[in-house]
Amino acid sequence: MSPHSRSASWGEFEAADPARAAWGRKLLYRDGVGDALFTTVAGDAPPRTHPVNLGIVDGRLLVFVQDHSAKMRDLVADGRYALHAHQDPTAPHEFLLRGRAVPVTDAGVRGAAIAVWPFTPGDGYGLFELRIEHALFGERASSDDWPPRYVSWRPG
């Protein structure tokens, strides 16, 4: 993270902009389970995009990542991520986040996440908190409306 970049937890985002955080949560949990497209980068390599399950647990946006995966290597080497909620053609709003993923080693946080996760992450999964440096919202009344009306949020 550059010395000028600020980041926020999900709880801090929610406290600073409750309406947009509620909208983002609704889009991330659109199908009842938290999921999105997750992009990682490492050095000069091209970005990689992966579908992920995610969870908002105790004010943290969390993701489990399989050990020995490209996603894990990217997060350990660099930490930068971008997250995009899946779009629904009937309600084509957009929700995007950018920031840095931070490893979570606290057993209590891990246990709270496992308790609500849609699958059982074993010992071969690392847990990361997705710290938010930028959130972007795109609102469209219908799939025919273009361009979206974008609103941006940054911590601080």
Question: What residues have CB less than 8 Å from 10, skipping those under 6 apart?
Answer: 21, 56, 59, 60, 61, 130, 132
Whole-number Å distance between alpha carbons of 151 and 28 = 17
The tokens for 124 are 């071969």
Place 1 in a pLDDT band, splitting at 50, 70 and 90.
very low
What is the radius of gyration, based on Cα positions, of the chain?
15
Q: Which of 49-58, 75-84, 125-134, 141-150 comes out lowest in average pLDDT?
A: 141-150
The tokens for 144 are 């025919």
Compute the average pLDDT of residues 81-87. 94
Compute the average pLDDT of residues 59-75. 96
Place 45 in a pLDDT band, splitting at 50, 70 and 90.
confident
Q: Map out the domains of the chain as residue ranges.
A: 10-153
pLDDT at 90 over 80: no
At 94-132, the pLDDT tens digits run 999 999 999 999 999 999 999 999 999 999 999 999 999
Whole-number Å distance between alpha carbons of 102 and 41 = 14
Give the CB-side neighbour count of residue 90, counting CA atoms within 13 A: 1
Fold of 10-153: Pnp Oxidase; Chain A (2.30.110)
pLDDT at 155 over 80: yes
At 16-42, the pLDDT tens digits run 999 999 999 999 999 899 999 999 998
Residue 92 sits at the vertex; the CA angle it makes with 87 and 95, to the nearest 5 degrees, is 60
pLDDT over 70, % of the chain: 97
Compute the average pLDDT of residues 45-67. 96
pLDDT over 90, % of the chain: 82
pTM: 0.92
